[in-house]
Amino acid sequence: MIRSLKIHLFTLVVLMLLSGNELFAQILKTSKPNVIIIYTDDLGYGDLSCYGNPTIKTPMLDKMAFEGIKFTQFYVAAPVCTPSRAALLTGCYPKRVGLHKGVLFPQSTTGLNPKEETIADLLKEQGYTTACIGKWHLGHQSKFSPLNQGFDTFYGIPFSNDMSRKEQVAMQGEKTNYKYKLPLMKGKDTISFEPDQRYITRDFTKKSVEFIKRNKKKPFFLYLAHPMPHIPIYASPDFEGESTRGPYGDTIEEIDWSVGEIMKTLKTLDLDENTLVLFTSDNGPWKVFKTEGGSSGPLRGAKGTTWEGGMREPFIAWWPETIKPQQLSTAIINNMDVLPTIAKITGAKLPEDKIDGRDISAILYGHDMALEDRPFFYYSTKGKIEGIRKGAFKMILREGVPQLYNIEEDISESYDLAGQNPEMVESLKKSMIAFDLQLEKENRPVGTY
C-alpha cells in the first residue's frame, strides 16, 4: 500500500511538472521570505488612527496593526531625513557613516559611501531582487545612486519633494534665487523634471505593485519610501477634500490606501504568508507648518528636535501566520535594528564593518527580549549628541543644562527629575559623552563626490 501511494505521488508530481501547474510552483517556492519596508516622510506619532488620531482614518494600517504587531517605543536615530535613512539602511548611527550633520541638498557633494553595506546589499547576496521606489535622499550624484547601494532598480526622486524651484516659487514668490528642479528618476536617468506631486503617492504605489507582480516567483526586497507627508503636501483628486483633518489628512489617507494596495496584492498573489512588511517613518512631523504638518500625539516636540516627538515613530510589523495578530509591544527598539533583524530572518550575513543595531526577530516571533539595558543616543540635526535613553529614563543636555525624565511615567516629558537624581544624571552624562567619543574614533569615511 505504501509503495502504491509513493507511485501515485510520483505520478502526480510528474504531471504537475509537465503541466506547469501553479500549485506545484507554490509548493516549491523559496523558503526565504520577501521583505517590504514602507518608509514615510515626516509622519508623526499621532497621525494614524491606530495610534490615537481622532480625525484621520487609516483603516488599512489599523488592519495591518490588528493582524500583526504594533510598537509603542520605536525610535529613529535622527530627527531629520538623511541621517535617519542612513541609519535604517546601514544599521548604524548616522555619525558612524558620516551622515549625521543634517539633510543633503541639491548642492551637496556627499552621500552614503558605496562601500557601506545596506539591507539591499545583504539581501542581494542571498539572491533577492531589490527595488527602491520613492525618495532616496542619500546622495543624488550617480556615485551615490541606489543602484550602487544594492538595489537592482530605482524609480523615484533623489531628495525631498520641496527641493524644487516650482515649490520654492510657490512658497517664496518669483524673487527666490532657488535654481534646482526636482527630478523624477529611473535608475540613474532623469526622465522628467517637476513631477505633478498630486499623483506621486499613486505613481509610486503603482510601480511597487508592478515590481511585486514581476517578482512573485522569487524572493524580493522592496523599499517603498513615500515622499509624503513632507511639505508640500499633496493628494490625488480621489482623496483631495475627503479627510476631516483637511489637506494633511487627505495625504495620510492616500498613504493608507497605498498600504492597502500592497497588502491586497500580496494576498491576491498568495504571497502574504511569505512576506514581512514593516511600516514606519523617518522622523517626527514638521509642526512649523501648523495644520499642514502632522501630530506628535501625546509627545513633546517635533521634527528636528530630540524630544520624543522628533524621534519616536509608529512602527508596525505584519507577516501573516508568522507574526501573531493583535500584539502590542512596548520594547524600546530603533530603526538601526531593522537591518540585523532582516539579516537573521533571511539568513543573510551581517556587514563586516561594525553596526549598532540589534536583532529583534525574537520579538516578532512573540518572544520576550531583554533590551532594557541598552542605551539610545539621540542626535540633533547638526550631529551634536544631546541625549540618552536607558530603561525608563531619558536624559537630555541642552546648553549644558541636564534634564531627566521618566518616559514610562511621563510620556510628554513634562516633569524634570534631574534635581532629584544627580547621581543618575551624572552617570548617564558620562555614558553619553563616552559613547560619542567612541563613535568619533570608529566613524567611517562619508562618501564624497
- CA distances from residue 131 to 37, 136, 220, 225, 289 in whole angstroms, order as listed: 11, 11, 8, 11, 32
**How many degrees, rounded to 5, is the angle at CA 293 between CA 292 and CA 296?**
150
92 is catalytic: no
215: three-class secondary structure by DSSP:
coil
Choose, from 81, 100, 140, 226, the residue flagged as catalytic. Answer: 81
The label of the residue with cell 523624477 reads: 184
Helix axes 247-268, 200-214, angle to 10 degrees: 10
Q: Assess whether 226 carries a catalytic annotation.
A: no
What beta strand segments (E) does 144-294 contain? 153-157, 183-186, 189-193, 220-225, 275-281
Distance CA 401, CA 398 (A): 5
Q: Alpha carbon 246 to chain centroid distance? A: 25
Joined grid coordinates for residue 353: 564593518
Read off φ and ψ for residue 224, nearest 5 degrees: -100, 105
From the list 100, 137, 140, 230, the catalytic residue is 137
Phi–psi pair at 397, nearest 5 degrees: -120, 110
Grid cell, residue 190, equals 532623469
Residue with cell 526586497: 221
| Alpha-carbon span 176 to 167, nearest angstrom | 11
Catalytic residues: 81, 137
